Amino acid sequence: MSQRELSELTGCDKSTVSVIIKRFEGIGLVERTMGASSGRRGRPSESLRISELSGLLMGVHLEFECLRFVAANVDGRPFASIDRPLPTTPSELGDDVRNGLEALCNEVGRSLSEIRAVGMTLPGLVGSAGGLAESSNLSWDTVAVPDLLRTKIGAPVYVDNDSNASTLAEHLFGVAADLSDFIMLDGSRGIGGGVFIDGRLYRGRSGFSGEMGHIKVVKDGRMCGCGAPGCLSAYICAPALVARSRRVPGISKFSDILAAAEAGNPDVRYLLEEAGQFLGVAMATLINVFDPPAIALGGIIAQIWPYIENSTRQTIQQNAMRTPAREYEIRISTISNSQIPWGGVTLALEGFSNLHPTDPLPW
Amino acid sequence: MSQRELSELTGCDKSTVSVIIKRFEGIGLVERTMGASSGRRGRPSESLRISELSGLLMGVHLEFECLRFVAANVDGRPFASIDRPLPTTPSELGDDVRNGLEALCNEVGRSLSEIRAVGMTLPGLVGSAGGLAESSNLSWDTVAVPDLLRTKIGAPVYVDNDSNASTLAEHLFGVAADLSDFIMLDGSRGIGGGVFIDGRLYRGRSGFSGEMGHIKVVKDGRMCGCGAPGCLSAYICAPALVARSRRVPGISKFSDILAAAEAGNPDVRYLLEEAGQFLGVAMATLINVFDPPAIALGGIIAQIWPYIENSTRQTIQQNAMRTPAREYEIRISTISNSQIPWGGVTLALEGFSNLHPTDPLPW
């Protein structure tokens, strides 16, 4: 992009852009290249780009099986990843994260000092200060994650719920890149989500918003892992689908369900159609409450979408108010199922690019 | 408030405030008074106030029984009201609204030309352009209300859903005045509500957000007036409560239910407790989705609150995630049950005070 284009895009005058760009060049964040000739006569236009060597954004994903580390340049696009074992107790988290970051830096031939920000995702409720407050899927509870990391890692650390991070990733890099408002439902061991409004993630009073898996779909219904009855997650998260198909021979994990559905197994197809109805009820509630331009579906919901689409859409039409139900759009995420997760580096990018104007630059 | 205080509050420098205030004085919006002596020596401080004669904001409420007209000064506080019959067809709306505004102006000794803005509320889904898109409670459908009014009324007209208007009123004048985020549930013939986020009403893609009465509480449950099953409104709106208590002798309207509950009638008390459970399920969904600082309850929900509070709170504790459920606050509206409705003049005030900087002043 040229300086003139930056000026038009930001609404800042040319001299302001020039001053800021000089500063960014000075710290190695931005570099100048000669753009492709426009075909017209005259000198080839000079353009600016984010320098690939300007630093690293790192994602750390606390998943159920492992700690997953992801590296991105400051444009936020992940390019490498490694998995390490989960710490057995929270007290080991600081050392384990530092060691993992170091191992990933070694692997990509960079150094820890190049890390500009770390974004860490947790599978549970994460408070505004970054602490884990509640996780029905993880045996940890009330862990002050930032305190555990602060002394071990030089760069700023941004911690959030995994689905909040996925929601941000869909806005910056995924199916919601053109939307300033959308609702995300993201599925794995549990069902999560995010509320994206007016161009930013809405985090609620204390950071706990977006728990779409705990929308009530059946009054006094199945018990959910969260301890309450009738949540969407109790009907459609991966363990629930596996549990509900236990009478089908050969099903012991989620990938078996996908394979059986693909092979046309009628019991599994029926089970998934029914799951689509529960999802449709929850989405009808979201449509009536938000009138959202779009709902993005990610993770396992995206994976089973071919088998639940009909029943989900039909249930929405039967349950949502007819005017907003004419307008909503469903978008199926691809990055939420990519081999390298995007959420962590997206959190790091959000933090890195939202430095308060009076903050000192972090390097 | 003094010019100095205005400057501190707005962050504008004194000379900017001075220029704007001079302009406002010139058009009669603001007047100077000598403030009460501060007790310290020196000249008594001069302060500014909104002139009571600077104009009128008018509310027009299309209700089920009547067209209700409300007058306020430009501070938005209603001071007079009249009721007129409902137009029999939408085509009469323009003349009927104009005549009603004229009658109210006569009653308060002011003139139509003093009206700065009109806010009109409708009991149904209202699109961003002010048209009625859908109303399960009114036999009208798809009525382009602003077009019907435009040629009849000189002042700008702002049209919105009645519960959206109530939500704004709670923020400006009611129980949510100190909150930049809250959720409203407002009940009458139907149950409505509003999503108030980051200091403004969130209206969704096309203006249809906040339909809290159509949160799903029972999968495949009772049919709601909206045509879909299992909505909160089907269990707790005034006609639903009356219908569900039809076996109780002497109940034929909502006020009978209130009287019977007050008198301790066990059947009615039980019915209301059960209604509280349905409300609790819907509020648990809202808490899990928004992590809201507060939920405001208005209209008939506020009226029956003494009889549903226990079952509602208990159901929330059983159904919401335990961390956000520790934090939410319930606030019971009073202005939503005041004799003169606040919503219409609040819409007028929102429109009047949000004039885009490049708009010409409307007088």
Q: Report whether pLDDT(A357) > 60.
A: no
Amino acid at B132: L
Q: Do B219 and A278 touch (CB under 8 A)?
A: yes
Cβ-count burial of B17 within 10 angstroms (0-12 exposed, 13-18 middle, 19+ buried)?
Answer: buried
**Number of Cβ within a 10 Å radius of residue A139:** 5
CATH C-level class of B56-166+340-349: alpha beta
pLDDT score, position B219: 95
Of the candidates A198, A205, A284, the beta carbon closest to that of B198 is on A198
What residues are paired with B46 via a beta bridge?
B34
Topology, domain A56-166+341-353: Nucleotidyltransferase; domain 5 (3.30.420)
Q: Do B291 and A209 touch (CB under 8 A)?
A: yes
Q: Do B208 and A181 touch (CB under 8 A)?
A: no
Q: Could you tell me what percent of chain A has a pLDDT over 90?
A: 68
Q: Do A208 and B321 touch (CB under 8 A)?
A: yes
Of the candidates B203, B217, B322, the beta carbon closest to that of A134 is on B322
pLDDT score, position B60: 97
User: Helices H, strands E: what count in chain B?
Assistant: 12, 14
pLDDT score, position B165: 96
* Residues forming CATH 3.30.420.40 domain(s) in chain A: 56-166+341-353, 177-333
Q: Where are the alpha helices (DSSP H) in chain B?
A: 3-10, 14-26, 93-107, 145-150, 162-173, 233-236, 238-244, 254-262, 266-290, 300-319, 322-325, 343-353
Closest CA–CA distance from residue A228 to any residue of chain B (Å): 5
pLDDT score, position A363: 42
Closest CA–CA distance from residue B340 to any residue of chain A (Å): 27
State ipTM. 0.91
Closest CA–CA distance from residue B142 to any residue of chain A (Å): 10
* Residues forming CATH 3.30.420.40 domain(s) in chain B: 56-166+340-349, 176-333
Cβ-count burial of B252 within 10 angstroms (0-12 exposed, 13-18 middle, 19+ buried)?
Answer: exposed
Taking CA atoms, what residue in A is nearest to B279? A219
Of the candidates B203, B228, B327, the beta carbon closest to that of A205 is on B327
Contact B316, B24 (CB under 8 A): no
CA distances, A77 to each of A73, A138, A163 (Å): 7, 28, 18
In this prediction, residues A195-223 reach a mean pLDDT of 95
State pLDDT tens for residues A242-283.
999 988 999 999 999 999 999 999 999 999 999 999 999 999
Amino acid at A19: V
pLDDT score, position A38: 55
The average confidence (pLDDT) of chain A is: 91
Homologous superfamily (CATH) of A177-333 is ATPase, nucleotide binding domain (3.30.420.40)
pLDDT score, position A28: 83
Length of chain A: 363
Taking CA atoms, what residue in B is nearest to A282? B216
Contacts of A2 by beta carbon, 8 Å cutoff, 6+ apart:
A35, A45, A46, A47, A48
CATH C-level class of B176-333: alpha beta
The residue that leads in pLDDT, B360 or A173, is A173
Interface probe with B: pick from A185, A323, A330, A331, most Cβ of B within 10 Å? A323
Q: What CA–CA distance (Å, rounded) separates B340 from A268?
A: 58
Give, for all 363 residues of chain B, the pLDDT tens digit.
888 899 999 888 889 999 889 988 888 888 888 866 555 566 667 889 888 778 999 999 998 889 999 999 998 889 999 999 998 888 899 999 999 999 999 999 999 999 999 999 999 899 988 888 887 767 777 888 888 888 899 899 999 999 999 999 999 999 999 999 999 999 988 999 999 999 999 999 999 999 999 999 999 999 999 999 999 999 999 999 999 998 899 999 999 999 999 999 999 999 999 999 999 999 999 999 999 999 999 999 999 999 999 999 999 999 999 989 988 999 999 999 999 999 999 999 999 888 655 455 544
Q: What CA–CA distance (Å, rounded) separates B116 from B62?
A: 20
pLDDT score, position B37: 53
Query: Is A325 strand, coil or helix?
Result: helix
